[in-house]
Amino acid sequence: MYTSNKRLLILDADGTTIDAFSAIEAAFLRHGLVIGDETRFQKRHQLFKYLGGLKEFPAIIKKNLRKNSRAKLVDSLTQVYRQEASLYAGIPDLIRELIAAPDIVVGMVTRNITHEPLETLRQLFARHGIDIDALDFFVHIPLSERKTQHFRAIRERFGINPARAYVCGDEHKDFAAAVGSGMHPFIVSYGFEDHDRLTLKFEVPPELIARTPDELSRRVRHALDLRAQKAYQNSSALAAPNIQ
């Protein structure tokens, strides 16, 4: 039925692995625009993803974006992502461990709206010592398409049992797409949607939500036995004969 005994982990980019708020804030400031604190930003969680429209923007930003080209804002966002944006603390180590694990298929999906988003994220990750070519996949999902079909396609591509497949995301849509494609969701509340919105409005079980990047890392390591694998690899290296 399934061609692989490996496990699968799909990582979301912005808001889960990448500190998107700080990057967006820096890009807006270059145009004299203030997006407010992170709590209010999360209540306008679609602001970043809908730069093509103005639905989620507060009035002052709408006014200024009509005066200044939104294209220039995307230019600034691209520069910030490529030159300044950061992964959340601890996430680079987690990704490196996942890449090194021989029985885990790991990759990333993104809806990033910078210019040439895959190249943008390639440069961002390279600054953190991660070559995205070492991932098993890196998929850009257009805003017009649902994530569910892409999650399912990734899982089927590698022939992995959905019971051995996981998705990390920061929005209720990530939760719905994971469940809809038969996978286990790891959801975080430090990204585009906060804990109250996830639990109260969309009824995401609080047991599935990590409030910090460190908590997400610990949950993933525990679920995928990364610590056990690392310990086994270390012991195997120590036990191996030193052949000159």
Q: Which helix (H) or strand (E) holds 214?
A: helix 213-223
**pLDDT value for 70:** 73
**pLDDT value for 181:** 97
Written as one string, the DSSP assignment of 107-129 is EEEE---SSSHHHHHHHHHHTTT
**pLDDT value for 64:** 56
Residues 71, 55, single domain; the answer is yes
**pLDDT value for 72:** 84
Tell me whether residue 244 is in a domain: no
CA-atom Rg of the chain in angstroms: 19
Which of residues 83, 116, 132 is at a domain's end?
Answer: 83
Residues 14, 25, single domain; the answer is no
> CB–CB of 138/98 below 8 Å?
no
**pLDDT value for 59:** 54
Picking from 217, 223, 219, the residue whose alpha carbon sits closest to that of residue 206 is: 219
Residues in the chain with pLDDT values less than 70: 36-69, 228-244
> CB–CB of 156/4 below 8 Å?
no
Token pair listed for 149: 């079909």
Residues 105, 61, single domain; the answer is no
Residue with structure tokens 């490529």?
A: 82
Bridge partners of 109, per DSSP, are: 12, 139
Residues 120, 65, single domain; the answer is no
**pLDDT value for 243:** 47
**pLDDT value for 143:** 85
Residues 13, 109, single domain; the answer is yes
**pLDDT value for 163:** 97
For the range 230-235, what are the long-range contacts, defined as Cβ-Cβ under 8 Å and sequence gap of 24 or more? 230/97
Which of residues 61, 83, 105 is at a domain's end?
Answer: 83
Its domain, for residue 76, covers 20-83
Interatomic CA distance for residues 102 and 63, integer angstroms: 52
What CATH number is given to the structural domain containing 120? 3.40.50.1000
Residues 29, 122, single domain; the answer is no
Residues 205, 92, single domain; the answer is yes
Interatomic CA distance for residues 123 and 84, integer angstroms: 10
> CB–CB of 169/142 below 8 Å?
no
CB atoms within 10 A of CB 27: 25
pTM of the model: 0.85
